[in-house]
């Protein structure tokens, strides 16, 4: 079995899915601490996500602390009930302040609530406040007007459109309209968790221009999910590394640091036979495009 320098392969990686704080849920580290720790892999950038608020505001308040940190940190907005759901005004503010991503509903999506009606270790509420369902379709079955407005803002600012935790049919509708309106950067996260989109369905999203993101936090043997990395390799081969992204989905209290999870899962994939060039494409090249470093 060949020996691999996984640290060299991951040099300059970009993490598109980091749940650092501040956040209503307990976090292992904040945005500054996460970016500083990223220096161990010469991390080029990280995208910080909250289910509750516009993270660009956090980063502006941390500007002085981030000034000497090499890793660039970007924020965005998730369209859950806490920001008014499909709220074009909140999206416009986030993007014009420098946001690089719009996540369609995550824990306010009907799909998420159906998958986790009681929270199930993946909370749908915080501070005992309910999270109302945010529907992307109206009573007539069509995508709501606000979806059109938000997609136009995404095009205007050329930023990332994430499927959030929507159901596959909703994702296909939003991505189809997004492509027609000129969106260039699409991603669907953890298709085999919450969303429940199989590889065949994901290939449909790829045909629309999307990348399929998998989370190393799910496959890290020192994490709390401990999924088999062989399953991840099957997904990579089914979709192709040119259409796949690896991200952390980490930051939650008690879970590993992203750098450690990337290193461990990356090493396991290489041991299973994944070419170094493919690992680098999924952790450096593809996410660099999606976050706009191109």
pLDDT number for residue 132: 85
| DSSP secondary structure string for all residues of 137-160 | B-TTSSBPHHHHHHHHHHHHHT-E
The pLDDT tens digits for 251-287 are 999 999 999 999 999 999 999 999 999 999 999 999 9
Q: Across the strands, what pairs with 129?
A: 126
Are 225 and 231 in contact, with CB atoms under 8 Å apart?
A: no
pLDDT number for residue 26: 92
Pick the CATH number of 6-290 from 2.10.109.10, 3.40.50.720, 3.20.20.140, 3.30.1360.170: 3.20.20.140
The pLDDT tens digits for 2-27 are 568 999 999 999 999 999 999 998 99
Q: Is 222 exposed, middle or buried (0-12, 13-18, 19+ CB in 10 A)?
A: exposed
pLDDT number for residue 269: 98
Tokens of 46: 């990280």
**Domain parsing of the chain, residue ranges:** 6-290
Q: Does the pLDDT of residue 61 top 50, yes or no?
A: yes
CA triple 263-269-272, angle to 5 deg: 140
Q: Across the strands, what pairs with 201?
A: none
Which single residue is written with the structure tokens 């593809």?
286
pLDDT number for residue 294: 79
Which single residue is written with the structure tokens 């989109």?
197
If residue 247 lies in a helix (H) or strand (E), which one and from where to where?
strand 244-247
The pLDDT tens digits for 152-194 are 999 999 999 999 999 999 999 999 999 999 999 999 999 999 9
Alpha carbon distance 115, 89 (integer Å): 29
Q: Which residue has the higher pLDDT, 228 or 114?
A: 228
Give the mean model confidence (pLDDT) for residues 203-212. 98
Confidence of residue 223 (pLDDT cuts 50, 70, 90): confident
Confidence of residue 226 (pLDDT cuts 50, 70, 90): confident
Tokens of 81: 């009930």
The pLDDT tens digits for 103-160 are 999 999 999 988 876 555 455 444 445 568 999 999 999 999 999 999 999 999 999 9
Give the mean model confidence (pLDDT) for residues 199-225. 94
pLDDT number for residue 127: 45
Residue 22: asked if its preceding bond is cis (omega within 30°), the reply is: yes
pLDDT number for residue 126: 46
pLDDT number for residue 3: 65
pLDDT number for residue 118: 52
Give the mean model confidence (pLDDT) for residues 39-60. 97
Are 268 and 228 in contact, with CB atoms under 8 Å apart?
A: no
């Amino acid at each position: 079995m060949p020996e691999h320098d996984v640290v060299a392969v991951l040099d300059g990686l970009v993490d598109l899915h980091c749940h650092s704080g501040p956040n209503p849920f307990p976090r292992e580290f904040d945005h500054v601490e996460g970016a500083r720790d990223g220096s161990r892999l010469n991390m080029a950038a990280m995208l910080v996500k909250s289910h509750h608020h516009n993270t660009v505001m956090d980063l502006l308040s941390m500007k002085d602390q981030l000034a000497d940190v090499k890793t660039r940190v970007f924020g965005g907005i998730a369209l859950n009930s806490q920001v008014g759901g499909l709220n074009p005004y909140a999206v416009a503010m986030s993007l014009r302040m420098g946001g690089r991503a719009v996540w369609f509903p995550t824990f306010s999506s009907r799909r998420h609530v159906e998958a986790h009606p009681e929270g199930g270790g993946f909370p749908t509420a915080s501070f005992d406040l309910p999270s109302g369902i945010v529907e992307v379709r109206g009573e007539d079955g069509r995508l709501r007007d606000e979806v059109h407005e938000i997609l136009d803002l995404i095009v205007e600012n050329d930023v990332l459109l994430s499927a959030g935790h929507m159901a596959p049919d909703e994702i296909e509708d939003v991505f189809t309209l997004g492509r027609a309106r000129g969106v260039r950067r699409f991603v669907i996260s953890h298709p085999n968790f919450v969303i429940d989109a199989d590889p065949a369905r994901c290939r449909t999203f790829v045909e629309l221009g999307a990348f399929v993101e998998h989370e190393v936090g799910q496959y890290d043997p020192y994490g709390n999910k401990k999924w088999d990395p062989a399953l991840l390799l099957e997904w990579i081969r089914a979709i192709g590394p040119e259409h796949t992204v690896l991200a952390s989905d980490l930051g939650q209290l008690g879970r590993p640091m992203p750098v450690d999870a990337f290193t461990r899962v990356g090493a396991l994939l290489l041991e299973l036979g994944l070419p170094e060039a493919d690992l680098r494409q999924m952790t450096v090249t593809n996410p660099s495009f999606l976050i706009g470093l191109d």
